[in-house]
Amino acid sequence: MSRRLRMLAVTTVAATVLGLSRVGGTYAAYSDTSAVTGGTVGAATLVSPTVASSPCAAANNLLASTVTLRWNGVSPASGVNPPASAYEYAISFYNRSTNAQVGSTTFQAHSGAAGAVQSVQYNTTTLGNLLGLTLFGSYQYQVRVRAHLPGTGWYGATTVSTNFNLTVTLTLATYTCV
């Protein structure tokens, strides 16, 4: 075999091996099963927040009105991963009349000890930017809060929901917890 033909064969084999080793999205070429013969097998379940005793508080005045939403944070069993500090909360607004999501979901990190009351406060400027409010309008919202593990698609199984109304007349906003 000529030297040129041998070089072509070596280059072709090397390119084929290199190409096969770089196949995207392939993580296993085979699978195998095995029985557990000792020890214990467990799985962690994502915990969910719970409804706070006072889930909504409205503060209305001429200069600035706010609505504060509260829920009890996650409370995973002691020693079970992930700990409460690893969680965040996905906060979504829904139109109560149409059940359609309004605006984008925002996220807030868990703070404090496991089970600690979590809260978020909105004013008309914040909600106006988030939800696209107009100068005149009456809005009926449901806020839904779910536990989430950042960097994953994992969410808690249950949702904490809180309802409130917002009436806007020019720059005067009035919140009502319902």
Structure confidence by residue, pLDDT tens digits, 119-142: 999 987 777 766 777 778 899 999
DSSP calls for 142-155 = EEEEEEE-TTSS-B
Residue 171 confidence (pLDDT) above 80: no
The answer as to whether 104 is a domain residue is yes
Q: Looking at residues 132-157, what average pLDDT do you find?
A: 91
The answer as to whether 1 is a domain residue is no
Distance (Å, whole) CA 33 – CA 20: 25
pLDDT of residue 123: 85
Confidence of residue 29 (pLDDT cuts 50, 70, 90): very low
Q: Write the pLDDT tens digit of every residue in 63-98.
A: 788 999 999 999 988 776 789 999 999 999 999 999
CATH number at residue 102: 2.60.40
> What pTM does this model have?
0.71
Residue 39 and residue 45 in contact, taking contact as beta carbons nearer than 8 Å = no
Q: What is the mean pLDDT of the chain?
A: 80
Nearest to 123 by CA among 58, 52, 72, 54: 58
pLDDT of residue 110: 97
The answer as to whether 43 is a domain residue is no
Total number of domains in the chain: 1
Domain that holds residue 146: 54-177
DSSP calls for 81-144 = SSPGGG-EEEEEEEETTT--EEEEEEEEE--SSTT-EEEEEEEHHHHHHHH---SEEEEEEEEE
The answer as to whether 122 is a domain residue is yes
The answer as to whether 25 is a domain residue is no
The answer as to whether 82 is a domain residue is yes
The answer as to whether 40 is a domain residue is no
Q: What is the distance, to the nearest Å, from the Cα of residue 147 to the centroid of all Cα atoms in its chain?
A: 7
Cα dihedral sign, 74-79-80-84: positive
The answer as to whether 27 is a domain residue is no
